[in-house]
Amino acid sequence: MTPELLHAHYLAMREQRLVLSFMGIVTQEIMVEYGKLIQAQEGLSENNRLILFGTFIELTQNILRYSAERSGSSENSRGIGIVLVSEQDDTFTVSSGNLVTTRAAAALAGQLAHLCTLDRDALKQLHKERRRAGPPEGSVGAGLGLIEVCRRAAAPPAYTLLPENNETVFFSLSVPIAKGLLS
């Protein structure tokens, strides 16, 4: 990357009030260290800081486990992706992006469209049922995590599924978390 491009990237990220960002091979170690930064983040209640941390962990583990872009041998491979935390006036937002297969994208689109129509009580109920029953037939695996993420979000998460080619789709998700401070 040229210094000029890096500067443009820096300005864009500053404009977004970036708290942290990572792009590359997601390892458990990286997740733990970034998680520690979030656990030390100021400007939100202790409870909401745990929600922010939990959302970061779920989205990062999704990249690690399910990204279609991977590094390493199949058994110990790590997912590649991007994860950001940014700040707004009343929220922090955790955003994640990674490639998924076209088949997984279809399942994700269906699942997220459904989850975004449910209110908090319905999400709580679904979480309980799914936890007891295990993942549904043909699940891409992240069932419980996405339900929990939607349930704790300040508003339904925004997501996009942008086809890269016939086999892969770029999946991105942005989850706002309330600061939970008394105004």
Partner 1 sequence: MTPLDLPSSDTTPRVSYDAGASTLLFEGESYPENVSQFYEPVFVWLRDFLAEKPAFKVVLAFSYLNTSSTKVLLDLLLQLDDYHRTGGKIEVEWHYRPALEVMQEAGEEFGEDLSLPYRLVAI
Binding residues for partner 1, rule: CB under 8 A, are 28, 32, 45-47, 50-51, 53-54, 57-58, 61, 64, 124, 128, 131-132, 134, 144-145, 147-148, 152
Q: Which is nearer to partner 1, 47 or 160 (CB)?
A: 47
CB closer to partner 1 out of 78 and 169: 78
Q: How far is the CB of 168 from partner 1 (least distance, A)?
A: 24
Question: Distance between CA 80 and CA 25 in Å, rounded?
Answer: 4
Of the candidates 128, 130, 157, 154, the residue with the CA atom closest to the CA atom of residue 142: 130
Nearer to partner 1, 12 or 37 (CB): 37
Please state the closest distance from residue 140 (CB atom) to partner 1, in A.
Answer: 14
Distance CA 37, CA 77 (A): 25
Q: How far is the CB of 54 from partner 1 (least distance, A)?
A: 7
Cβ proximity to partner 1, 16 vs 180, nearer residue: 180
Torsion-angle region of 172 (φ positive above 0: left; ψ -120 to 50: alpha; else: beta)? beta
- Residues composing the chain: 183
Smallest distance, Å, CB 145 to partner 1? 5
Closest CB to partner 1 among 13 and 32?
32
Query: Distances from the Cα of 52 to the Cαs of 6, 41, 49, in angstroms?
Result: 28, 10, 5
For residue 90, the minimal CB distance to partner 1 (Å) is 18
| Residue 114 to residue 98: CA distance in whole angstroms | 21
